[in-house]
Structures are given as C-alpha cells and as structure tokens.
Structure 1
Amino acid sequence: MPLSHQDQLTVLRDILNNHQCDCCGTVAECEQMERLIKSLMANDGIQADMKSMLNDVYYYSQAGKYSPDLDQHISNHQEQLTQWVSDMDQFS
C-alpha cells in the first residue's frame, strides 16, 4: 500500500528531526529523503511554498549523500534543520 502524501511528510519530518536532534545520519536516510521529496514534488496537492522548502531539503540530502563527513554536514545545517522541522509542523 503506498504512503499518502501526509504519511510521506511525516516520514520526511521524522528523518529531519532525527538529524537535528542527533547531529548524525546515514546515506540511506539521505536517499530516502530524496525519494520522498521526488514523490511529494509530483503531487499537485502540495502548496508552492512547501515545494520550495522541499527543494531546499532535497539539495541538503543530495549534498549529505556525497559529503565525505555526513555528520559534519548535518551539524553545519542545524539552523536549517530546525526551521524545516518547524515549517513542516505548520503544514501538517
């Protein structure tokens, strides 16, 4: 059974929240965020301001996936992670 867009947003928010709280993550999480965002971006029901934020998160996840030090990448983006999690809470 496919995930609804609300479920996809919840999974994405959880991964971002874990990165923000734990200051660490995995390449697999970055890849999962990319897949979720691609699916969400194809959804006509997602608002334009949400798509803008999703685009930013997509680039964060891509950069993280290829970063030689993913934990440092996550640490360097703490402010954005906090903002994205907060923004996602407002969209829910």
Structure 2
Amino acid sequence: MRARWVTAGLLALLGAVHAHIWWGRASVANVEALRRELLRQEQANEAARQRNERLTAEVHDLREGLQTVEEIARESLGMVKPNEIFVQIQGGAP
C-alpha cells in the first residue's frame, strides 16, 4: 500500500515539474520568445554602436581639420571656393 502512495506522489511531482516546463514562467515557449527578443536587441545595439562610431569619427574630423567641414559645405550647401567653377554632369541614356 505504501509503494502505491510513493508511486502516486512521484507521478504527481513529475506532472508538476512537467507542467512547469511547458506552461510555467520558464516554459520552453517563453524562453524562446526571450531569446528572439534578445537577438533583436543585440542587433539594435550593434546598429547603434556602429552609428555612434561614425558620429564619433565625424566629430573628431570636425574638431581636427577643415577638410570635413569643407566637404559638408560643398555637398549640403553647394558652396564653391573663390575662382572655382562648379560643373554638374547629369547622367542619362547615351
């Protein structure tokens, strides 16, 4: 009789552990969702890190030299140097 109670208790414990694995807070589905979220966040962090590196390099260039300032002025504002002629070539079908 005692062996039946031990067996029933162990089966109940096994069922509780199994239920926790499949439907609990640390379930397989929940862990997979957290992994996907972590992957998305790591990708966003990497993109932000690369952007920060580009901005840091640009700030360094702006502080150290006028070449970057000149390049930005030429591209964004269409500025030209004195005694310089600006020529724009538009591509088209031959």
Give the structure with the larger helix fraction. Answer: 1
TM-score w.r.t. the length of structure 1 is 0.25
Tell me the TM-score normalized by structure 2: 0.25
Greater relative CO, 1 or 2 (CA 8 Å, sep 6+)? 1
Larger Rg, first or second structure (1 or 2): 2
